[in-house]
Chain A
């Protein structure tokens, strides 16, 4: 119970940080997503169920606060990322470091594929432009921040 409250409060802190200060980290309109980093962290270090439902709730709130179309897409994507990260809960320390980072990249790509590609389905932008100018830069930027955070928090280390 206490863990639930703790992770939820931290989640809301991350959400407020993303909402109020996310733009400060923007480089050429590419903003990292701190929520996906947090959900991956919860999935790997806490529990799969918590990651799924925290992802759902935080995703819905951030969409309600910022999205101009397709509200609910972030909750869908973050729930899925929470589930995928939770699959490796307790197992992540036994996986080689390179594989760990490939997994993290996969989690982030799954999130951005869902949020970016679906929200752009009705735009006139080509898939190549969306992938190379938005999806990949966002993924790499978020991965960079995730890597730094996880090294500091010793996620995946024995």
Chain B
């Protein structure tokens, strides 16, 4: 006589699967809650320790080369800065004469890139600065040349997860420098980076520079985004879309700067 199998043990895998699915759905439903954010921060914090020895070895091997490059960049930047200081002073004086209000100021927090994930589904990177260092959620992130990188979407005490411009869910308000037209930049699979809904009479040409518009609390204006690469024909008779080549090289990001 064969031993009888209890119904409970027969359905044990199915019960376990349903439990796992239910918990997964509960997690999806609780995305963004304080408890969930704490759990996520704990995981990010723990994982960041894996990068400590790697970063140390990397920094030792590149520090001399980086220092020389930085010296050169510093001298060039100092000359540029002197030019701009004169222009800023002049601009400020003219604005005062016209009665404009002052611009928002921001601080910059330098951060090392710990890891990055790049694919069509998600594009993010982890950096070694967190809430303890003054980083806040939805802070803007730029590279060493002040070009747009992304924004902070998750935080732990010592790390932050940055959503890159190339992420499918990323949107940013941008301005075309020459024509001064404003639009929303996003990534599309068929055309790459596109500024949607640009008025059909906008005088945009290939090669024009694109910067952030400043119409948000995340990014100040004038952060360089990229160049116009192509302009699509007018869609629905009143708008056209403008394709953009991003300036930031995401494959070479080692340090970023978080705007606070």
Q: Which residues of A contact B (CB under 8 A)?
A: 16, 19-20, 22-23, 26, 29-31, 48-49, 52-53, 55-56, 59-61, 64-73, 75-76, 79-80, 83, 86, 115-116, 119-120, 122-125, 129-130, 133-134
The residue from A49, A61, A68, A124 contacting B124, defined by CB atoms under 8 A apart: A68
Decide if the interface of chain A is mainly helix, strand, loop or mixed.
helix
Bound Cα distance A64, B31 (Å):
10
Name the distance in Å between B171's Cβ and chain A's nearest Cβ: 11
Listed by A's residue number, 22 A-B pairs whose Cβ atoms lie within 8 Å are A20-B115, A29-B119, A30-B119, A49-B12, A49-B13, A49-B16, A56-B23, A65-B43, A65-B126, A66-B124, A68-B161, A68-B167, A70-B28, A71-B27, A72-B26, A83-B13, A83-B16, A123-B169, A125-B189, A125-B190, A134-B120, A134-B121
Bound Cα distance A107, B24 (Å):
19
Name the distance in Å between B22's Cβ and chain A's nearest Cβ: 10
The residue from A83, A116, A129 contacting B121, defined by CB atoms under 8 A apart: A116
Query: Given contacts A29-B118, A64-B44, A129-B190, are A53 and B27 in contact (CB under 8 A)?
Result: no
Is B188 interfacial (CB 8 A cutoff)? yes
Q: Which residue of A lies closest to B168 (CB)?
A: A123
Name the distance in Å between B60's Cβ and chain A's nearest Cβ: 19
Contact B28 A68 (CB under 8 A): no
Contact A71 B28 (CB under 8 A): yes
Bound Cα distance A26, B161 (Å):
20
The residue from A61, A73, A80, A119 contacting B17, defined by CB atoms under 8 A apart: A80
The residue from A16, A69, A130 contacting B50, defined by CB atoms under 8 A apart: A16
Q: Which residue of B lies closest to A72 (CB)?
A: B27
Query: Given contacts A19-B117, A71-B40, A125-B188, are A56 and B122 in contact (CB under 8 A)?
Result: no
Q: Which A residues are CB-close (under 8 A) to B206?
A: none
Query: Given contacts A19-B47, A49-B16, A56-B24, are A68 and B122 in contact (CB under 8 A)?
Result: yes
Chain B contacts with A in 178-192, Cβ cutoff 8 A: 188-190
Is B153 interfacial (CB 8 A cutoff)? yes
